[in-house]
């Protein structure tokens, strides 16, 4: 090193990531490590209770009559409002339906709150409402309450939607992130990265015309079929949305304290999605999905569950991608197509803001 340069390369060779603790940044909305740290540092200590502490996609509460409800809430700020294969309205319904369904519940009711920006064209709002109506009909749920607020021009980017879903949990079923067991087989119900790349395409970030469409879809019928096939032999279900498949698997590994191994050559990715990711420098494992599930099931029930999922709409391309075990506790490893093994960590920051 040049002694007169004034730079200490040795101490700067591997700097620690800057910790954003005083201000909110886009990475706090990634669904990855920064999001988890924010929730653990601020929200959980303030509202701590066993249901919240479980860290699943929906909270499950028991009623005095013995029934259990799964309740989930979500806010949707996707931009642009319309993208190939979906829009903010369909996304709002499907995302909440899926978060309730993966807890082993039958989604029944949903509420919606709309934040509208002054100047939003009524025709756009009508299109979004029509899309939500179609999605609720497909999912077989009812929108039972709502709220509308209007903010000044330039304060809401057109439209934001908050939804809350409620479902009745099937008796004898308790899938959650802490239940992954040694030997469980991991199913993925289709290709990854479709939604994130469709939104990027709609923003014009790809620089070329693409055939990629979002996978936004309600998956409660698929969940029902999987549970019919395997019952409580299904230990975990999760939809890999923000942070993608990699972050979701890390969440489950940490919740259950188990190691996970996946096979790169078994993870389905559409060629246009793979090409777009390579061009932009993204790893499909970290790109959001809005119509896929990961299912952890006992080994002897895996083939039956896979067949049930493949028989469903949206599940035709399902594959077995790995298993629980042969990895350090709380870690996710991937056997690559080159025969090596690498660590698959949780998404650290934000690669695609506002994709849901």
Q: What is the pLDDT of residues 90-128, one digit of tens each?
A: 999 999 999 999 999 999 999 999 999 999 999 999 999
How many Å apart are CA 93 and CA 74, to the nearest integer? 10
Complete domains list, the chain, with CATH: 177-343 (3.90.650.10)
Q: Distances in Å between the alpha carbon of 201 and those of 42, 210, 276, 285?
A: 35, 7, 9, 18
Q: What is the pLDDT of residues 208-229, one digit of tens each?
A: 678 999 999 999 999 999 999 9
For range 344-351, the mean pLDDT? 81
Q: How far is CA 95 from the centre of its chain?
A: 8
Q: How far is CA 128 from the centre of its chain?
A: 22
Structure tokens at 80: 């642009």
Give me the residue label for tokens 């078994």. 266
How many Å apart are CA 356 and CA 354, to the nearest integer? 6
Q: What is the pLDDT of residues 139-183, one digit of tens each?
A: 999 999 999 999 999 999 999 999 999 999 999 999 999 999 999
How many Å apart are CA 100 and CA 220, to the nearest integer? 9
Question: What residues have CB less than 8 Å from 339, skipping those under 6 apart?
Answer: none
How many Å apart are CA 310 and CA 225, to the nearest integer? 10
Question: What residues have CB less than 8 Å from 7, skipping those under 6 apart?
Answer: 1
């Amino acid at each position: 090193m040049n002694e007169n340069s004034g730079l200490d390369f040795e101490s700067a060779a591997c700097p620690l990531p800057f910790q954003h603790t005083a201000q909110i940044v886009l990475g706090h909305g990634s669904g990855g490590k920064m999001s988890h740290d924010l929730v653990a540092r601020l929200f959980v200590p303030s509202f701590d209770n066993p249901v919240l502490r479980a860290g699943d996609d929906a909270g499950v509460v028991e009623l005095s009559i013995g029934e259990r409800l799964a309740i989930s809430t979500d806010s949707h700020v996707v931009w642009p409002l319309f993208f190939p294969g979906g829009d903010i309205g369909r996304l709002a319904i499907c995302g909440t339906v899926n978060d309730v369904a993966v807890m082993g519940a039958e989604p029944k009711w949903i509420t919606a709150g709309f934040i509208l920006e002054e100047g939003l064209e009524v025709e756009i709002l009508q299109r979004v409402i029509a899309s939500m109506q179609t999605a609720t009909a497909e999912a077989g749920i009812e929108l039972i309450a709502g709220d509308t607020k209007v903010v000044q021009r330039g304060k809401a980017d057109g439209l934001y939607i908050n939804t809350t879903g409620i479902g009745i949990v099937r008796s004898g079923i308790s899938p959650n992130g802490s239940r992954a067991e040694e030997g469980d087989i991991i199913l993925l119900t289709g290709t990854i990265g479709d939604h994130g790349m469709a939104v990027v395409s709609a923003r014009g970030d790809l620089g070329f015309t693409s055939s990629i469409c979002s996978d936004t879809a309600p998956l409660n019928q698929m969940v029902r079929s999987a549970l019919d096939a395997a019952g409580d032999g299904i230990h975990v279900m999760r939809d890999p949305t923000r942070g993608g498949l990699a972050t979701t698997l890390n969440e489950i590994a940490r919740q259950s304290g188990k190691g996970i191994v996946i096979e790169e050559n078994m993870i389905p990715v559409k060629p246009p999605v793979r090409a777009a990711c390579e061009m932009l420098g993204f790893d499909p494992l970290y790109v959001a999905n809005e119509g896929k599930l990961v299912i952890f099931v006992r080994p002897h029930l895996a083939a039956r569950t896979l067949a049930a999922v493949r028989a469903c709409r949206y599940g035709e391309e399902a594959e077995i991608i790995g298993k629980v075990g042969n990895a350090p506790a709380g870690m996710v490893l991937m056997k690559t197509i080159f025969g090596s093994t690498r660590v698959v960590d949780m998404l650290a920051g934000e690669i695609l803001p506002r994709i849901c």
